[in-house]
Amino acid sequence: MLLFTPDLVRDRDPWDVLEAVLSEVDIVQVRPKPVQGARSAVTEARAALELARGVLARTRALPEPRPLVLVNDRVDVARALADDGIAGVHLGQQDTPVTLARAVLGPAPLIGLSTHSASQVAGAAELAVDYLGFGPVYATSTKDYEQGLGPEHAWVAANASTRPVFAIGGIDRSNAADLVEVGRIAVGSAILCAADPRRAARELRTLIERA
């Protein structure tokens, strides 16, 4: 899963970077940078909507099977783009409750949920979610986590969960092989900040597919 935040590509064109890696990923989670200041809620919704539309347009140009496209946090955007091909939404623990998101979206769209502990993984078994994110596995500056939970906790989560689990947080080519027992990873900086994003994505896929 590619966590697509355009700001991470720095001085490059984010669309060029995205197009370069789409053949190497299975899911793109759209994550626009948070907006600060007045009217931020409206601005954030519009930014997420336009970014998701751009990602959908580029995936539609690909042959099947195409990467799925999810939007982070924004249930409203996922509903607005349901007929345009968006697959669903990813929610954090402090975002829209899963029960409300499912009521708004209906039974078909995917809903993912971030988890950070064994108790949250266990609790998710009672919720109408399709997959879990678990982490941060390693320290990550993207979310300001100075310490990760460790790969062994991700292994336990993946084995205990009744849903597919994506390990997340500080994952790169130096440690992805430690997560083959999980079998799924969600990555942002390790791909988007790489000198050769396509190669970085391919290397990560190769490492995790040894599972």
Annotation says 117 is catalytic: no
Reply yes or no on whether 114 is catalytic: yes
Query: Helix, strand or coil for residue 80?
Result: helix
Q: Cα(149)–Cα(42) distance, rounded to whole angstroms? A: 35
> Which of the residues 10, 33, 60, 143 is marked catalytic?
143
Q: List residues bridging with 92 in a β-sheet.
A: none
Burial readout 38-55 (b: 16 or more C-beta within 10 A, e: otherwise): eeeeeebbebbbebbbbb
| β partners of residue 185 | 167
Catalytic residue among 31, 74, 161, 184: 31
Residue among 74, 114, 161, 184 flagged as catalytic? 114
- Taking CA atoms, 59 is separated from 112, 153, 204, in Å, by 20, 33, 20
Q: Note if 33 is an active site residue.
A: no
Active site residues per annotation: 31, 114, 143
